[in-house]
Amino acid sequence: MEVRIYYEDTDCGGVVYYANYLKYFERARTHFLDEHGLSVSELIQQGTEFRVIKAELAYRSAAIHGETLVVDTNVHADRRISITFCHSIRERTSQRLVVDGSATLVTVGSTGKIKRIPPLVLEALGLPADSQPSPS
């Protein structure tokens, strides 16, 4: 996914304000889910929401006003209740690494209580579903 850097994205020195990278990660995750046939709006209507429980960033170089960044997103790990998305952001022309990091998300129901990741989400993302214990 591409992100063009506008003046509003930068600090007074014309460098991307550090917190904006989290916004770019969020956009990229939504884009990634869309590309895998998952609509965040439809999931919410079906009673599943994503919540970020951990985010990490490592700043590698400055991005400046006028540049275009490319955000790559991959699913790194999964468990029964969380998915970790890994992100790297590079400047489009030079491929210079600007930021890399990850965000771990859980799924919650309409009450806000953490629940297992729905099998349709795991399947769409190409992640193995946990084996369920057989009833006794």
Largest CA distance in the chain: 64
Which of 11, 34, 72, 100 is the catalytic position?
A: 11
Q: Is 134 left (phi over 0), alpha (psi -120 to 50) or beta?
A: beta
Mark whether 130 is an active-site residue: no
Q: Where are the beta strands (DSSP E) in 7-135?
A: 49-59, 68-78, 82-91, 97-108, 114-115
Enzyme catalytic residues: 11
